[in-house]
Structure 1
Amino acid sequence: MKISYNFKDSNLLKQALTHPSHKSCNKNPSYERLEFLGDKILGAIIAKYIYIKFQHSPEGHLSLMHSNLVSSEAINKVANKVSIGEFIIMDKGEENSGGRKNANNIENVMEALIGAVFLDGGYQESEKFVLDLWEGTFSRDDMMHKNPKSLLQEIVQKSGKSIPTYEVTKKSGPSHESIFEVCVTAQDIGSAHADGNSIKEAECNAALKLIEKLNLK
């Protein structure tokens, strides 16, 4: 695994690479707590990066770019560049069941590594570590490619919640120029209203508004 950071505390690196299956056998810390920390650090680093890089982009575009860059798909893309799966410490059962190629494992370890770098070297080192991996990997089109509805569903399901629901709450204007208002609701997360010239457009706008709310938390 070739990464642009040398750990002072090798135990942090080992913990970041340790799958919970190995913890249960050896009572060593797994990546779970570091994953939690790394997820938050990654979000902050990417938010700062796109805020500075895309100075003329509106908030909605920044929210969509941010959500795409910290999505499971993006994290796996970056992690696979440095072959993280090959270095995960796991028990034989997990390995035999395809654990080294499991997208969830790879994402968790990538986030844990970010958390470990933060604890070992501070924010500046973790920022450098993330940007070395993320910069040049994604074009602006990559950052904007995912439909807000699909992206919101991924975010919500990652939290273990039910898929978002959409409801048309208002229709106004003549039939050939109707304006639709839609409310999207995500279980235990919140809701958002938006309008559009079609139900589909209104749903996408509502999903984007809810993503913006989530990114501000």
Structure 2
Amino acid sequence: MARRKPDLEELLKKLDYRFEKPELLEEALTHVSAPQAGGQSYQRLEFLGDRVLGLAIAELLHNTFPNAPEGELSRRLAELVRRESCAEIAVAWDVGPHLKLGAGEAHSGERRNPTILADVCEAIIGAVFLDGGYEAAKGLVERSFQELVDAPRRPLRDPKSALQEWAQGRGLPPPSYAVVEQTGPDHAPKFRVMVKVKGSESEFGLGTSKRIAEQAAARSLLLKEGVWTEEEHGTA
């Protein structure tokens, strides 16, 4: 039984955009392995869309967080344009069934490949930019990425960086870390690290490396001081 060709109308509804030049969307969905690619694939549109996405996200963040310093805006930008975020958007658009792939790629499950999905997300943004201009592309980005803007999937800073910034903001010396215990064999050690910030009680963290243990200790201190919350930053 032949596989039903997916209706592009479903994708257009999710994008909430109508193309003047539908061939641009077709190109954005074409992997280099597809027989009909003929040397043309989504790669050029991906290159363009990557730049448009960065500008649109930067403008969105600038307007959404008017009091945020440059450092925070940069961290938010990096989180939103990372490959995993773009792949998540492509999944929300349900682009997988619409991808044009070579037979081998189609049979090996490449419709769910996060790298391809991320590339296609950027390619579609590039296609909308060429078809309708920057405002149309920015509108697509805002509609699609707003949830990630409002609720980042990961902490914007690692615990050690966050703790150091917190200490500096209070005019305190940088946090100090010390290994207080090392157990286990050489090939699988476990570290217990203590972190100390002037004016606060010491906290401890465990990990299979000094770095992981330091991050765990910093996280514990941030939680104890109320700088971070379990709801925002999950479990260790």
User: 1:19·1:88 contact (CA, 8 Å) conserved in 2?
Assistant: yes
Q: Cα deviation per residue 1:124-155 (whole Å; 9 max; x = unaligned)? A: 111111111112x2254516624459xxxxxx
**TM-score under structure 2 normalisation?**
0.60
The equivalences for 1:1-217 within 5 A come to 1=11, 2-22=14-34, 26-27=37-38, 29-135=40-146, 137-138=147-148, 140-142=150-152, 145-147=155-157
2:33 partner SS = helix
- Which amino acid letter does the alignment assign opposite residue 92 of structure 1? A
- Seen in structure 2, the aligned counterparts of structure 1 residues 89 and 100 have a Cα distance that, compared at 3 Å, is same
Q: Write the distance in 2 (CA, Å) between the matches of 1:78 and 1:28.
A: 26
Percent identical across equivalent pairs? 35
1:29 partner SS = coil
- Which amino acid letter does the alignment assign opposite residue 4 of structure 1? D
Deviation at 1:74, TM superposition (A): 1.2
Q: Cα deviation per residue 1:175-211 (whole Å; 9 max; x = unaligned)? A: xx6678xxxxxxxxxxxxxxxx7x868xxxxxxxxxx
| Structure having the higher Rg | 2
User: 2:80·2:149 contact (CA, 8 Å) conserved in 1?
Assistant: no
Query: Superposition RMSD on alpha carbons, in Å?
Result: 2.6
Q: Write the distance in 2 (CA, Å) between the matches of 1:68 and 1:81.
A: 18
Q: Write the distance in 1 (CA, Å) between the matches of 2:80 and 2:125.
A: 15
Q: Write the distance in 1 (CA, Å) between the matches of 2:174 and 2:17.
A: 55
1:142 partner SS = coil
Aligned residues: 157
- Seen in structure 2, the aligned counterparts of structure 1 residues 179 and 115 have a Cα distance that, compared at 3 Å, is same
Deviation at 1:122, TM superposition (A): 0.4
Which deviates the most, 91-100 or 35-44? 91-100
Unpaired segments of 5 or more residues in structure 2? 1-10, 160-172, 177-196, 198-210, 216-236
- Seen in structure 2, the aligned counterparts of structure 1 residues 57 and 144 have a Cα distance that, compared at 3 Å, is farther
Q: Flag the structure with more relative contact order, 1 or 2, with Cα contacts below 8 A and sequence separation at least 6.
A: 1
- Which amino acid letter does the alignment assign opposite residue 12 of structure 1? L
1:138 partner SS = helix
**TM-score under structure 1 normalisation?**
0.65
Normalized per residue, the structure richer in helix is 1
Q: Write the distance in 2 (CA, Å) between the matches of 1:36 and 1:70.
A: 13
User: 2:87·2:114 contact (CA, 8 Å) conserved in 1?
Assistant: yes
User: 1:64·1:143 contact (CA, 8 Å) conserved in 2?
Assistant: no
Q: Write the distance in 2 (CA, Å) between the matches of 1:141 and 1:26.
A: 37
